[in-house]
């Protein structure tokens, strides 16, 4: 590839990322159904043709938005789930990251969007699940399987164990924030204490004696 072609590819990728940032705000503001490719193109200062050149359809554009969000989160999760980290350390890091995400304004906004729109646009829920929760479950399950093989944990079904742990971290926090926004404030101290309890509960059941 020539230097000119490389610059063109970089410019194209940069423009794609810029459009995805604008699209995220449009989806959060208008919802998936009401958001249109024309609205995104106008706000991004691009032609509709340019938008369709980068993204074949609205679902593909939403997938790009979700993939960007998940990549940022998963990079931290992958670092936490390193073989160099002991189970208590890895689970604490992942659990705290998940709790911070699900109660954040941005995380809650995306979740509301997906739940409210999925009946009208079923592909939305599948995109969200495949790129977000499922990917995280599998990453944590891989780590649990690795630690079980190393003799540091005893997880007979790593995927089930991963879902149980992440479910314990989530607990009622996300639900309370969704139905009673701003009624309670979860302090950093409380988050740390809660995740510590979830980790200890998990290790009491699946840790090696």
- Nearby residues of 67 by Cβ (< 8 Å), 6 or more positions away: 131
The number of beta carbons lying within 10 Å of the beta carbon of residue 95 is 26
CB 41 within 8 A of CB 50: yes
| pLDDT tens digit sequence for 49-71 | 989 999 989 989 998 988 888 88
How far apart, in whole angstroms, are the C-alpha atoms of residue 74 and residue 132? Answer: 9
Residue 37 has pLDDT above 60, yes or no: yes
Spatial separation of the C-alpha atoms in residues 107 and 177, rounded to whole Å:
11
> Are the C-beta atoms of residues 77 and 97 closer than 8 Å to each other?
yes
Separation of alpha carbons 209 and 195, rounded Å:
21
Between 137 and 82, name the one with better pLDDT. Answer: 137
Check pLDDT > 90 for residue 165. yes
Measured distance CA(13)–CA(77) in Å, rounded: 25
Q: With contact defined as beta carbons under 8 Å apart, do 137 and 162 qualify? A: yes
Task: For domain 59-206, give the CATH superfamily.
Answer: Tetracycline Repressor, domain 2 (1.10.357.10)
How confident is the model at residue 3, as a pLDDT?
55
Mean pLDDT of the chain: 88
How big is the chain, counted in residues?
A: 209
Residues 6+ apart with CB under 8 A from 79: 93
How is the chain split into domains, by residue range? 1-56, 59-206
Does the domain spanning 1-56 belong to CATH 1.10.10? yes
pLDDT band at 202 (very low <50, low <70, confident <90, very high): very high
Cα–Cα separations (whole angstroms), residue 32 to 13, 54, 63, 147, 180? 23, 18, 11, 40, 24
With 70 as the cut, is the pLDDT of residue 16 above it? yes
Give the span between the Cα atoms of 166 and 152, in whole angstroms.
19
Split at pLDDT 50, 70, 90, the class of 95 is: very high
């Amino acid at each position: 590839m020539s230097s000119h072609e490389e610059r063109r590819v970089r410019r194209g990728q940069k423009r794609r990322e810029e459009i995805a940032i604008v699209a995220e705000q449009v989806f959060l503001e208008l919802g998936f159904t009401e958001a249109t490719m024309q609205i995104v193109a106008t706000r991004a200062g691009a032609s509709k043709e340019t938008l369709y050149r980068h993204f074949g359809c609205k679902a593909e554009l939403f997938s790009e938005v979700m993939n960007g969000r998940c990549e940022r989160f998963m990079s931290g999760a992958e670092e936490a789930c390193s073989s160099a980290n002991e189970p208590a350390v890895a689970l604490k890091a992942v659990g705290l990251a998940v709790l911070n995400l699900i109660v954040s304004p941005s995380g809650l906004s995306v979740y509301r969007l997906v739940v409210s729109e999925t009946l009208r646009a079923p592909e939305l829920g599948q995109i969200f699940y495949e790129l977000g929760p499922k990917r995280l479950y599998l990453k944590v399950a891989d780590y649990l399987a690795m630690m079980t093989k190393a003799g540091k944990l005893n997880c007979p079904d790593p995927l089930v164990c991963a879902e149980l742990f992440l479910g314990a971290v989530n607990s009622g926090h996300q639900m309370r924030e969704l139905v009673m926004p701003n009624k309670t404030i979860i302090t950093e101290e409380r988050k740390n204490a809660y995740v510590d309890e979830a980790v200890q509960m998990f290790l009491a059941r699946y840790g090696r004696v």
